[in-house]
Amino acid sequence: MLAFAKDITIKDPNHPEEAKNSELKEYMNYQRSLDHERLIYHALDYSKTELQSSMTEFQDKKEKLDDYLKNQFKICYTTLKSADTVIFMLRKLINGHNSSNNWYKMNAYYYALVYDCIKSFVSFHNSIIQKNPDKAQEFNISNGTEVDFDDWIHLFFPDLDFHIGNNLDGSQYPFAKRNKAIEEHIAKEVNAGKPFEEALQTVKEKHEIEDASIDFLTNKEISKDNMELFYTSAENPIYEYLTEREDGSWGAVE
């Protein structure tokens, strides 16, 4: 199972104050209608299927395939660059997500790809709900309710550092506030004469930006190490130490 900032396997969440607040109760009812595991599965599968179809259709038309990638994977395309890389990563994500024995931790490269996949699929899913609600039930994701993409990202992503340099919607305010502070710090360093990559390294420690995020933001080709999804047993309480890798708690997926 893929490890997000919150456990996507939790069913029927509740809030101690919802009985006193009708708006909160309505929101929690919405949350209880969502099947997060199925949402992720369908988002990844949808992107993989559509990409495979486009790779076949544009087999000898590299420019058209590149245009497809730019439109469908707007955040991650500049760094991942090739359809082969994206499809390989999608397969790893799907395999990890379908595993019930382990938790799989993602880095900025994978989070950026998942972000693009969810955004694309949610747009497709919500349009199906509007046009053909019965067909939308086949996905069995939200009990006929449109999925709020911004809210989902806000709840389940640890940060949007991979999104630095791109505008964020208001509903992702906590992430937007962090990204703006980082962007302003980077701009200050660049204006002082530092190259962008050096400026990133300068602000890295203060803002606790991970190495993989730095690599992603500087458009470095994904390395063998960053291509890995690190895993730990599903029996481990990962939401107590999700960001740690000391003492062999995480192993690399071959």
**Residue 232, class by beta-carbon neighbours within 10 Å (0-12 exposed, 13-18 middle, 19+ buried)?**
buried
Asked whether residue 184 is assigned to any structural domain, the reply reads no
| pLDDT in the model for residue 132 | 92
- List per-residue pLDDT tens for the chain, 254 residues long: 999 999 999 888 888 898 999 999 999 999 999 999 999 999 999 999 999 999 999 998 999 999 999 999 999 999 998 999 999 999 999 999 999 889 999 999 999 999 999 999 999 999 999 999 888 889 999 999 999 999 999 999 999 999 998 887 666 677 888 999 999 999 999 999 999 999 999 999 999 999 999 999 999 999 999 999 988 888 877 766 444 444 443 343 33
Asked whether residue 246 is assigned to any structural domain, the reply reads no
Looking at 17-168, which runs of residues are DSSP E strands?
102-105
- Whether residue 2 contacts residue 118, with contact meaning beta carbons closer than 8 Å, is answered with no
Asked whether residue 186 is assigned to any structural domain, the reply reads no
The structure tokens listed for 127 are 């349009």
The structure tokens listed for 214 are 């730095």
| pLDDT in the model for residue 10 | 87
Asked whether residue 91 is assigned to any structural domain, the reply reads yes
Dihedral of the CA atoms 50, 87, 55, 112 (nearest 10)?
70
Asked whether residue 179 is assigned to any structural domain, the reply reads no
Among residues 244, 250, 248, 247, which one has the least CA distance to residue 232?
250
Cα 204 from Cα 197, distance rounded (Å):
11
Q: Which domain holds residue 40?
A: 2-158+221-237
* 169-176, Cβ contacts within 8 angstroms, sequence gap of 24 or more: none
Q: How many domains does the chain have?
A: 1
The structure tokens listed for 45 are 């599968």
On the CB side of 245, CA atoms within 13 Å amount to 10
Asked whether residue 136 is assigned to any structural domain, the reply reads yes
The structure tokens listed for 174 are 């906590």
**Residue 159, class by beta-carbon neighbours within 10 Å (0-12 exposed, 13-18 middle, 19+ buried)?**
buried
Asked whether residue 188 is assigned to any structural domain, the reply reads no
Asked whether residue 209 is assigned to any structural domain, the reply reads no
Q: Which helix (H) or strand (E) holds 230?
A: strand 230-233
Q: How many CB atoms lie within 10 A of CB 201?
A: 16
| pLDDT in the model for residue 221 | 94
